[in-house]
Structure 1
Amino acid sequence: MKARVHVMLKDGVLDPQGAAVRHALATLGFAGVEGVRQGKVIDLDLAATDRAVAEAEVRAMCERLLANTVIEKYDVEII
């Protein structure tokens, strides 16, 4: 079974990497971009065969390692 985790900074947390990307896009002539938020995608190959068990396991991984839950939010997708 496969899982995909999307990790993004929570709303209100400054995103200096996103700001740098927005600035670079403006420099390249893409003036219509008003904001950029940058995150990460983590793909996992799991041994679990039960969808609910796999999702619970991935959420535990996020809470303990994959996301800094103080400043980041995450979404788990079983694919």
Structure 2
Amino acid sequence: MSAGVLTSGQLSLRPGYPSEWTLSRWRKENIGPAYMRIGGRVFYAISDVEAWERSHRGGGGEMPFHQKKRRKPKVLTGTADDMAQAAA
């Protein structure tokens, strides 16, 4: 392939990029640099990668990520008197 394109494996080796698996998930979620599919293989044009990097500069996180969902804290019901009676 031409020197102007990267495979998913090559892109994942660039500093700040996630694994190939995560790049695959990004493609499904329309996140990340533009890509092209040729003969079932995925390629990224270096110019598209660099343009995507420029558009995502700034403060905060370098790459998009999904935060884990946190469980809601349990809400205790009743009054202090009810708890004291239950403990007795």
Task: Say which structure, 1 or 2, has more relative contact order (CA 8 Å, 6+ apart).
Answer: 1
- TM-score, L = length of structure 2: 0.23
- TM-score, L = length of structure 1: 0.25
Q: Which has the higher strand share?
A: 1
